[in-house]
Structure 1
Amino acid sequence: MSILKGNGKKIIETIIKVIGICSILPVLGIFAYIIFKGVPAITWSFITEGPKSGMREGGIFPVIVGSILLTIGTIIAAVPFGILTGIYLVEYSNDNWLRRIINLTIVNLAGIPSIVYGLFGMAFFVMALGMGRSLMAGSLTLGIMSLPVIITATRESLLAIPKSMREASLALGATRWETTWKIVLPAALPGILTGIILSVSRAAGETAPIMFTAAAFYLPFLPESLSDQVMALPYHLYVISTQVPNMPESNMMGTLFVLVFITVGFNLLGAYIRNKFRKFR
């Protein structure tokens, strides 16, 4: 019987490994295809110049700048509010009907399609508040879309910290805020950073929300204020793939490669920072 159990365990482990490899292979294949098709299109002029000749020539410099600005705006709009909301739910709120409604709302918000956030941003920020299609409206819309993941990650990371750490800090005379800020939050930071990375990476690759609130088909200038429209990689890729006839494939694949490179690079940077914090715990 022990031999059969041992063989059964090995079979299950082998099946799990095969399933894991099979799930990774399509992703690796997509990355290989993007690299094979996209790298030859990457030149210095492609990165540093603006689009020309109806976007069939030139580069994507304003598109890259617009995506970076939208990502920074999303971080500013979502991260502080998301972390503070998670801290409130775990450290300060009581287990009552209000807390349960907030938690249920967060779960529901996480499942809303991105195009709904785009329509909300257009109706509220663009039209009701009079921001127009602008960098600010797009950043706020993406920030709201990112909130559920950041709040959930913060809440779960804080709940994973043992209560004994809080009790020890309070017993030594620290206030609740000092305990949260100096003891609990640093210990939960790796998990919080994971949620921030996932949510912001998703926001950086979204097309629908910025289509209604911030992105422009073509701009001959870089944004100079929060009220200006921007070009962005996801929307630009959609435009040149579907709206511009006779678009060279190299431009499309080069844009796709830059978008994937920025997204993966942001994830790798976040993982590096997260591991650094984990080492100092």
Structure 2
Amino acid sequence: METLLIYLLLGAAAGTIAGLFGVGGGLIIVPALVLVFTAQGIPPEILTHMAVATSLATIVITSISSIRTHHLKGAVDWGLFAAMTPGILLGSWLGGVTAHLLPGAWLQLLIGVFALAIAVKMWLDGFRHAQLGEDGGHLPGRSVLLGAGGFIGWASAIFGIGGGSLTVPFLSRCRVQMQRAVATSAACGLPIAVAGAISFAIQGWREPMLPPWSSGYIYWPAFSGIVLASAFFARFGALLAHRLSAQMLKNCFAGLLSVIGLRFIWLNAHLLT
């Protein structure tokens, strides 16, 4: 019961932060689960893989609500989605395979670098240039969209995220209007999460160190607690966001990601020497 309460609190925190900052919860869920799994005594060889896999599984559920909202507003470009999805599915599957081959410490180091890079990009206002473009520019060919989907799926599965921090900048550079870019990115998060979660489940199926109630690297008690709480608190975070400065929110989230990234890099810096 105590453990379930921890997961409910984690889901509440992830949902609130996702609603506040307009991002998927994966960038928060993965580092938090690493801490919780460490405290539970889960072997370090597998706890990071479990955190990433469980995060992807939760995104399967949370992304469905997001897609429905964007679709009802007519904001999803389903043509772009269809062009990118085959690459996303293959890339996400390969991302699970890649992560399985990486030692847990290396996986943590990569997640730390990625979190820090996103924080720096936010501070440099790297995404704001996308708002300058007009919708209706020339999109790349299907092969480019397929390849971009493959890379986005691969990287997102490794980091346990829905891919918004990668998909939105790519679509924006293709001169897709920001609202459509965000909505289409939300739709792309579902195949990323489905293929990535299944890949992690299969890669870890025969792992002897896994705790009970696991399907491969997916840990269902953590999944249940996070999903139960995150949906409600995402609405709370979204309401709170309207009362706070957008720039302050952006800087706070970048600061949080910096702390997470630097901590993971510091803990695993010995790998670089």
Report the TM-score, using the length of structure 1 for normalisation: 0.31
The structure with higher relative contact order (CA 8 Å, sep 6+) is: 2
Report the TM-score, using the length of structure 2 for normalisation: 0.32
Q: Which has the larger radius of gyration?
A: 1
